[in-house]
Amino acid sequence: MSFANILKQADIFFELTPTQLELIASLCREQRFNTSDVIFEENSPSDELYIIGQGEVEIQVDPSLVGDSTAQAVSTVTIATLRRGQSFGEVALVDQGLRSATARCAQHNTQLLIIPRDKLMVLCDTYPQLGYRLMRNLAADLALKIRNTDMRIREELLYGHQRRG
């Protein structure tokens, strides 16, 4: 499957034209990972966006990094499992801060398309309509992820004490 066809399946590239998808595809490099391979670590520098072409990726956080006293028993917590067509690492497109989670391969022979931030930003500047659509879709994707996180926090606040009590 061509890179453009893989990109077409990703929500953050919704409503991009075939030409726009080909332009983004020209920036991609492919990398394959196997089960338990770390793609990137929490608190590491970020400058790439990832699209899953095939396989699964787990997004994990380390509770001990926020000083959770109960974290000694739990090394990492999987907060999401992502599959084909989903993206991760989007925050790197926005602020280039440190990674907020670890990404770990969850399935043998997982195919990722990796898009460097700097090249994608040049493309968005060169083609403003592409940039507008991409940033609109990126905002919608991040909003959905924030809403899901908010729901998990609410569930933990409402029901977590019942499980521990």
CA distance linking residue 26 with residue 44, whole number of Å: 26
Give the H or E element holding residue 20.
helix 18-25
pLDDT at 72 over 70: no
Q: What Cα–Cα distance (Å) separates residue 76 from each residue in 48, 89, 120, 146?
A: 23, 18, 31, 20
Quote the pLDDT of residue 7: 97
Beta carbons within 10 angstroms of residue 31's beta carbon: 13
**Tens digit of each residue's pLDDT (9 = 90 or more) over 25-61:** 999 999 999 999 999 999 999 899 999 999 999 999 9
Mean pLDDT of the chain: 90
Domains of the chain: 3-164 (2.60.120.10)
List for the chain the helix, strand, coil content (%; round to 5).
45, 25, 30
Lowest mean pLDDT: which of 10-14, 63-67, 75-79?
Answer: 63-67
Quote the pLDDT of residue 162: 64
Quote the pLDDT of residue 57: 98
CB neighbour list of residue 165: distance below 8 Å, 6 or more residues apart:
none
| The two three-digit tokens of residue 134, written as one number | 């991409």
**pLDDT-based confidence at residue 159 (cuts at 50, 70, 90):** confident
Residue 78 in 3-state DSSP? strand
Q: What's this model's pTM, rounded to 2 decimal places?
A: 0.87
CA distance linking residue 111 with residue 114, whole number of Å: 10
